[in-house]
Chain A
Amino acid sequence: MIDVARIDHWAASGSGPFHRSSPIAKVFFLLLVVSAAVIAKNPYALLAGYGALLVVAALSRLPWPRVMALSWYAAVFALLYSLSIRGGFLIRALFIVKAITPSFAMLMVIVSTPYPKIFSLLGSVLPEIIAAGLFMTYRTLFILLDMMDNFAAAIRLRGGFSPGSLYKNSANISQGIAMLVVRAVERASRIYAVMVVRGYSGSMAEKASVRLHPEDWLPLSTGAAVLLLVLLWK
């Protein structure tokens, strides 16, 4: 399970140079790294780019070991996909670095940007219902994760997991998911009602700044460096 609560804590509590950069600069950084991954033909060049991101994350006091571990999650699926490709080691390696490099960049953005800023930026380009839906999804996700923990504990305490009984386990898990849906809808409705009472009308109170400022040099130069590395190292 992706640890959303921890990601949120890192985003809100850091004070390094990446945290101080504007969200729009980090979006440009992400686009530069994704472009590098799209055009990369040499796994070594992209791997060097991944290394550069790792160094920048460490120097910016981001939780780089955890970010690195999370970025490798993407490698599992890339490896599965690459197994269907006729090719040797280098092609499979290219697939994996193409998966982990943008993933690492994305995680660098997420762990250094508090979610209101991200949703504010998204809300300025997306229609209201999608922006509001995104925000509600994110809020509800935390509630669901808590409920999931409670559900898992409750089902164990009541002997709901029986090793060897696939039918019983499946039935219990299905009912647990169904209960999660029902309770998530109830909680989300309550949260939304409270938000509306407090003045929420479909947009975030904090407006995203679309101007670049001097502290944006780090994400912009890092993204440009990764792209240049891929362009020059053929």
Chain B
Amino acid sequence: MTHMHIPDGVLPVHLWLLGFVLMALVLGLCLLRLKNADLKKKIPLLGAVSAVMLVAMSLEILPLAYHINLSVVAGILLGPALGFIAAFITNLILALMGHGGITVIGLNTLLLGSEAVLGHTLFYLLSRRMPVFWRTALATMVTLCIATVALIGIVSVSHIDPELFSHESQAPGQGLAHGGTISVSRFATMVLTLGFFGWLIESAISGAVVAFIAKVKPDLLGHALHRDKFDGDNRGAVR
């Protein structure tokens, strides 16, 4: 849900530039955190999870115009640092395929990456007595809700650059008298209404995916970044 399909040139330059700067900073922090990790084992996992995210993001759920992201699943499987990198890779490849603007890669990565980080954190904060399905579903639901509010925040601060439409009175055609100002409430209503059903679907799918992985290949969930928290009684919580 929180992948913005905003075309290039719609958001003000300072906003998307800020997105790129923040994204670069967070990526730098992630790379620092991974400095001592055994990347030879992580790269195939990173590639596989990013590819699954790409496939998921290119499938539309009609008629909601919603696509699942699996960003929380990525965060749980990869950890926060690699999860953020997976978000960047996914957004970059999507932009290379013409799906989403090139200038919004920074903001999109921040949104999707924050889902991975937040989802990972919530998953490990929630009680380990809770079944994996419900832990993941709850973490996904809360994460998507917060990320969608962040998306609405970005759109509301964008104010759709007034300069963009400053020549409107000279332009041929009609209907430009009120041009260019965004109705945040209308946008928020659309996104939250349609999004809610999308969150439910994504939460159920994410829950089922992580529960299945916990049953079939639990070592994927016990990676080094959170082994101390996962090992022990957690396998008993799989339902």
Cβ–Cβ contact A102 & B212, under 8 A = no
Check A144 against B182 for contact (C-beta < 8 Å).
Answer: no
Contact among B34, B52, B98, B180 for A107, CB-based, below 8 A: B98
Q: Is A74's CB within 8 Å of the partner chain B?
A: yes
How many residues on A have C-beta within 8 angstroms of the other chain's C-beta atoms?
A: 78
Task: Identify the B interface with A (CB < 8 A).
Answer: 5-10, 13, 27, 31, 34, 39-40, 42-52, 54-56, 58-59, 65, 70, 73, 77, 85-86, 88-90, 92-93, 95-103, 155, 160, 164-168, 171-183, 186-187, 190, 201, 204-205, 207-213, 216-217, 220
Query: Is A80 a contact partner of B48 (Cβ separation < 8 A)?
Result: no
Cβ A106 vs Cβ B46 within 8 A: no
Q: Judging by beta carbons under 8 Å apart, are A99 and B217 in contact?
A: no
Residue of B nearest to A132 (CB): B43
The prevalent SS among residues of B at the interface is helix
Q: Which of A102, A171, A174 contacts B8 (CB 8 A)?
A: A102
Q: Mind listing 29 A-B residue pairs with CB under 8 Å?
A: A34-B8, A38-B103, A77-B100, A78-B7, A81-B5, A84-B155, A85-B179, A86-B180, A87-B165, A88-B175, A88-B177, A90-B168, A102-B7, A130-B88, A133-B47, A133-B50, A137-B54, A137-B90, A137-B93, A140-B50, A173-B205, A177-B205, A178-B210, A179-B212, A180-B55, A184-B51, A185-B217, A188-B47, A196-B40
A141 touching B217 in the complex, CB below 8 Å, given contacts A73-B98, A88-B176, A91-B165: no
Query: Bound state CA distance, A30 and B101, in angstroms?
Result: 12
Where chain A touches its partner, the secondary structure class is helix
The smallest C-beta distance from A39 to any residue of chain B, in angstroms, reads 7
Among A7, A39, A40, A77, which residue has the most Cβ atoms of chain B within 10 A?
A77
Give the residues in chain A near B210, CB-CB below 8 Å.
178
> Which chain B residues border A84 with CB–CB below 8 Å?
155, 182-183, 186-187, 190
Given contacts A85-B180, A98-B10, contact A144 B52 (CB under 8 A): yes
Write the residues of chain A forming the contact surface with B, with a CB cutoff of 8 angstroms.
1-2, 4, 7, 30, 34, 37-42, 70-71, 73-74, 76-78, 80-81, 83-91, 95-96, 98-99, 102-104, 106-107, 110, 118, 127, 129-130, 132-141, 143-145, 148, 170-171, 173-175, 177-182, 184-185, 187-189, 191-192, 196, 234
